[in-house]
Amino acid sequence: MKRAMILGSILVLIAVASVVTVGAQSKTLASTMNIYVFPTKGQPADQQSQDEAGCYSWAAENTGNDPFELAKKSESDKQQAQQAQEQAKNVGKGAGASSAVKGAAAGALIGEIASDDPGKGAAYGAAAGVIRGRRKGRAAQQSAMQQADQQAAAAQQATAQDLDNFKKAFSVCLEAKDYMVKF
Protein backbone atom coordinates (compact mmCIF):
# COMPACT_ATOMS: atom_id res chain seq x y z
CA MET A 1 0.00 0.00 0.00
CA LYS A 2 2.76 2.43 0.95
CA ARG A 3 4.70 1.45 -2.14
CA ALA A 4 1.71 2.18 -4.35
CA MET A 5 1.25 5.62 -2.76
CA ILE A 6 4.95 6.43 -3.12
CA LEU A 7 4.98 5.18 -6.70
CA GLY A 8 1.84 7.22 -7.43
CA SER A 9 3.42 10.33 -5.89
CA ILE A 10 6.55 9.87 -7.97
CA LEU A 11 4.49 9.51 -11.15
CA VAL A 12 2.58 12.69 -10.32
CA LEU A 13 5.83 14.57 -9.72
CA ILE A 14 7.25 13.31 -13.02
CA ALA A 15 4.07 14.36 -14.84
CA VAL A 16 4.16 17.81 -13.24
CA ALA A 17 7.84 18.21 -14.08
CA SER A 18 7.22 17.26 -17.70
CA VAL A 19 4.33 19.71 -17.96
CA VAL A 20 6.48 22.48 -16.45
CA THR A 21 9.29 21.63 -18.88
CA VAL A 22 6.90 21.66 -21.84
CA GLY A 23 5.39 24.93 -20.62
CA ALA A 24 8.82 26.53 -20.31
CA GLN A 25 9.73 25.54 -23.86
CA SER A 26 6.65 26.82 -25.67
CA LYS A 27 3.35 28.50 -25.05
CA THR A 28 0.13 26.88 -26.11
CA LEU A 29 -2.23 28.65 -28.46
CA ALA A 30 -4.70 29.19 -25.63
CA SER A 31 -2.08 30.64 -23.29
CA THR A 32 -1.15 33.30 -25.87
CA MET A 33 -4.71 34.60 -25.44
CA ASN A 34 -4.64 34.31 -21.61
CA ILE A 35 -6.96 31.30 -21.68
CA TYR A 36 -6.15 28.49 -19.28
CA VAL A 37 -6.86 24.94 -20.47
CA PHE A 38 -6.62 21.78 -18.39
CA PRO A 39 -7.03 18.31 -19.94
CA THR A 40 -9.62 16.59 -17.72
CA LYS A 41 -9.25 13.21 -19.46
CA GLY A 42 -5.45 13.23 -19.39
CA GLN A 43 -5.07 14.23 -23.03
CA PRO A 44 -1.40 14.44 -24.06
CA ALA A 45 0.14 17.80 -24.99
CA ASP A 46 0.18 17.06 -28.71
CA GLN A 47 -3.52 16.18 -28.64
CA GLN A 48 -4.26 19.35 -26.68
CA SER A 49 -2.39 21.39 -29.30
CA GLN A 50 -4.41 19.78 -32.10
CA ASP A 51 -7.66 20.36 -30.22
CA GLU A 52 -6.77 24.00 -29.52
CA ALA A 53 -5.92 24.58 -33.19
CA GLY A 54 -9.19 23.01 -34.29
CA CYS A 55 -11.20 25.03 -31.78
CA TYR A 56 -9.35 28.20 -32.77
CA SER A 57 -10.39 27.71 -36.38
CA TRP A 58 -13.94 26.84 -35.39
CA ALA A 59 -14.28 29.87 -33.11
CA ALA A 60 -12.78 32.24 -35.70
CA GLU A 61 -15.16 30.94 -38.34
CA ASN A 62 -18.24 31.10 -36.15
CA THR A 63 -17.59 34.50 -34.57
CA GLY A 64 -15.96 36.15 -37.57
CA ASN A 65 -13.12 37.28 -35.30
CA ASP A 66 -9.46 36.34 -35.12
CA PRO A 67 -7.80 37.45 -31.87
CA PHE A 68 -4.52 38.24 -33.58
CA GLU A 69 -6.31 40.44 -36.13
CA LEU A 70 -8.22 42.06 -33.27
CA ALA A 71 -4.90 42.89 -31.59
CA LYS A 72 -3.76 44.62 -34.79
CA LYS A 73 -7.10 46.45 -35.00
CA SER A 74 -6.72 47.58 -31.38
CA GLU A 75 -3.30 49.08 -32.13
CA SER A 76 -4.70 50.82 -35.20
CA ASP A 77 -7.59 52.18 -33.12
CA LYS A 78 -5.12 53.57 -30.57
CA GLN A 79 -3.16 55.34 -33.30
CA GLN A 80 -6.34 56.80 -34.77
CA ALA A 81 -7.40 57.99 -31.31
CA GLN A 82 -4.06 59.77 -30.86
CA GLN A 83 -4.44 61.43 -34.26
CA ALA A 84 -7.97 62.51 -33.38
CA GLN A 85 -6.70 64.02 -30.11
CA GLU A 86 -4.02 65.96 -31.98
CA GLN A 87 -6.61 67.27 -34.44
CA ALA A 88 -8.94 68.19 -31.57
CA LYS A 89 -6.17 70.28 -30.00
CA ASN A 90 -6.15 72.45 -33.13
CA VAL A 91 -9.91 73.04 -33.14
CA GLY A 92 -10.79 76.60 -32.23
CA LYS A 93 -7.35 78.06 -32.95
CA GLY A 94 -7.62 81.52 -34.43
CA ALA A 95 -11.13 82.03 -33.12
CA GLY A 96 -9.96 85.00 -31.03
CA ALA A 97 -8.53 86.84 -34.05
CA SER A 98 -11.57 86.39 -36.25
CA SER A 99 -13.85 87.44 -33.41
CA ALA A 100 -11.65 90.49 -32.77
CA VAL A 101 -12.19 91.64 -36.35
CA LYS A 102 -15.94 91.20 -36.07
CA GLY A 103 -15.99 92.90 -32.68
CA ALA A 104 -13.94 95.82 -33.98
CA ALA A 105 -16.34 96.32 -36.89
CA ALA A 106 -19.36 96.25 -34.60
CA GLY A 107 -17.61 98.50 -32.04
CA ALA A 108 -16.66 101.05 -34.70
CA LEU A 109 -20.26 101.25 -35.86
CA ILE A 110 -21.57 101.63 -32.32
CA GLY A 111 -18.81 104.13 -31.44
CA GLU A 112 -19.67 106.27 -34.48
CA ILE A 113 -23.36 106.28 -33.61
CA ALA A 114 -22.95 106.80 -29.86
CA SER A 115 -20.06 109.25 -29.57
CA ASP A 116 -18.71 110.10 -32.99
CA ASP A 117 -15.53 108.14 -32.08
CA PRO A 118 -15.32 104.96 -34.16
CA GLY A 119 -11.70 104.24 -33.07
CA LYS A 120 -12.57 103.98 -29.41
CA GLY A 121 -15.61 101.83 -30.19
CA ALA A 122 -13.50 99.60 -32.43
CA ALA A 123 -10.96 99.06 -29.65
CA TYR A 124 -13.64 98.06 -27.15
CA GLY A 125 -15.34 95.86 -29.72
CA ALA A 126 -12.05 94.13 -30.65
CA ALA A 127 -11.25 93.40 -27.00
CA ALA A 128 -14.71 91.97 -26.40
CA GLY A 129 -14.44 89.98 -29.63
CA VAL A 130 -11.12 88.43 -28.60
CA ILE A 131 -12.53 87.33 -25.25
CA ARG A 132 -15.68 85.90 -26.83
CA GLY A 133 -13.71 84.18 -29.60
CA ARG A 134 -11.27 82.54 -27.20
CA ARG A 135 -14.10 81.24 -25.05
CA LYS A 136 -15.85 79.79 -28.10
CA GLY A 137 -12.55 78.32 -29.32
CA ARG A 138 -11.87 76.62 -25.98
CA ALA A 139 -15.41 75.26 -25.85
CA ALA A 140 -15.07 73.91 -29.40
CA GLN A 141 -11.71 72.34 -28.54
CA GLN A 142 -13.09 70.67 -25.41
CA SER A 143 -16.07 69.39 -27.35
CA ALA A 144 -13.82 67.96 -30.09
CA MET A 145 -11.53 66.28 -27.54
CA GLN A 146 -14.50 64.82 -25.71
CA GLN A 147 -15.92 63.48 -28.96
CA ALA A 148 -12.54 61.93 -29.89
CA ASP A 149 -12.36 60.26 -26.46
CA GLN A 150 -15.87 58.86 -26.83
CA GLN A 151 -15.14 57.47 -30.28
CA ALA A 152 -11.91 55.86 -29.05
CA ALA A 153 -13.69 54.30 -26.08
CA ALA A 154 -16.46 52.94 -28.31
CA ALA A 155 -13.92 51.38 -30.69
CA GLN A 156 -11.98 49.87 -27.79
CA GLN A 157 -15.17 48.47 -26.26
CA ALA A 158 -16.25 46.92 -29.58
CA THR A 159 -12.87 45.23 -30.01
CA ALA A 160 -12.96 43.92 -26.43
CA GLN A 161 -16.47 42.55 -27.01
CA ASP A 162 -15.33 40.80 -30.21
CA LEU A 163 -12.39 39.22 -28.36
CA ASP A 164 -14.64 38.13 -25.51
CA ASN A 165 -17.05 36.49 -27.97
CA PHE A 166 -14.14 34.64 -29.59
CA LYS A 167 -12.90 33.42 -26.20
CA LYS A 168 -16.38 32.15 -25.32
CA ALA A 169 -16.65 30.20 -28.59
CA PHE A 170 -13.10 28.83 -28.21
CA SER A 171 -13.87 27.77 -24.64
CA VAL A 172 -17.14 26.06 -25.56
CA CYS A 173 -15.36 24.04 -28.24
CA LEU A 174 -12.60 22.94 -25.87
CA GLU A 175 -15.09 22.09 -23.13
CA ALA A 176 -16.91 19.86 -25.62
CA LYS A 177 -13.56 18.03 -26.09
CA ASP A 178 -13.27 17.39 -22.32
CA TYR A 179 -11.03 20.25 -21.25
CA MET A 180 -11.58 22.59 -18.33
CA VAL A 181 -11.24 26.17 -19.58
CA LYS A 182 -10.98 29.52 -17.75
CA PHE A 183 -10.28 33.02 -19.04
pLDDT tens string 93-137: 665 566 656 655 665 556 556 666 667 666 666 666 667 767 777
Integer Cα distance of 177 and 53 in angstroms = 12
- Would you place residue 23 in the very low, low, confident or very high pLDDT band (cuts 50, 70, 90)? very low
Integer Cα distance of 32 and 11 in angstroms = 29
User: Is the separation of the CB atoms in 35 and 154 below 8 Å?
Assistant: no
Give me the residues paired with residue 180 across strands.
38
Listed residue (48, 82, 75) closest to 178, CA to CA: 48
User: Tens digit of pLDDT for each residue in 8-19?
Assistant: 334 334 444 444
Integer Cα distance of 84 and 99 in angstroms = 26
User: Tens digit of pLDDT for each residue in 158-177?
Assistant: 999 999 999 999 999 999 99
What angle (nearest 5°) sits at the alpha carbon of residue 168, between those of residues 163 and 172? 150
16 CB-near residues (< 8 Å, 6+ apart): none
Please report the pLDDT score of residue 98 as a whole number. 61
Give the chain's mean pLDDT.
78
- What are the boundaries of each domain within the chain? 2-182
51 CB-near residues (< 8 Å, 6+ apart): 43, 174, 177, 179
**Mean pLDDT in residue range 68-87:** 88
Integer Cα distance of 111 and 57 in angstroms = 77
Integer Cα distance of 6 and 10 in angstroms = 6
Integer Cα distance of 106 and 125 in angstroms = 6
Number of Cβ within 10 Å of residue 113's Cβ equals: 10
- Would you place residue 1 in the very low, low, confident or very high pLDDT band (cuts 50, 70, 90)? very low
Number of Cβ within 10 Å of residue 110's Cβ equals: 15
